[in-house]
Amino acid sequence: MGFLDFLWLALGIGSLLVAAALCLVLRRLHRVLVVLEDTLLAADEAIREVTPEVRDGLGNVNDIAGGVNLALRVGGEGAVRLGRAAATSYHEVSLSTRAALHGMKVGVRSLVRTLLAGPEERPTGGQPDGK
pLDDT value, residue 128:
59
Q: What is d(CA 115, CA 110) in angstroms, rounded to the nearest whole number?
A: 9
CA distance 112 to 68: 10
Whole-number average pLDDT of the chain: 82
pLDDT tens readout for residues 1-19:
688 899 999 999 999 999 9
Check pLDDT > 80 for residue 22.
Answer: yes
Tell me the average pLDDT across 113-117. 78
pLDDT tens-digit series, residues 52-97: 888 877 888 888 888 888 888 887 887 777 776 666 666 666 777 7
Q: How far is CA 54 from the centre of its chain?
A: 4
What is the SS3 assignment for 131?
Answer: coil
Please compute Rg for the chain using Cα positions.
37
Q: State yes or no: pLDDT of 129 exceeds 70.
A: no
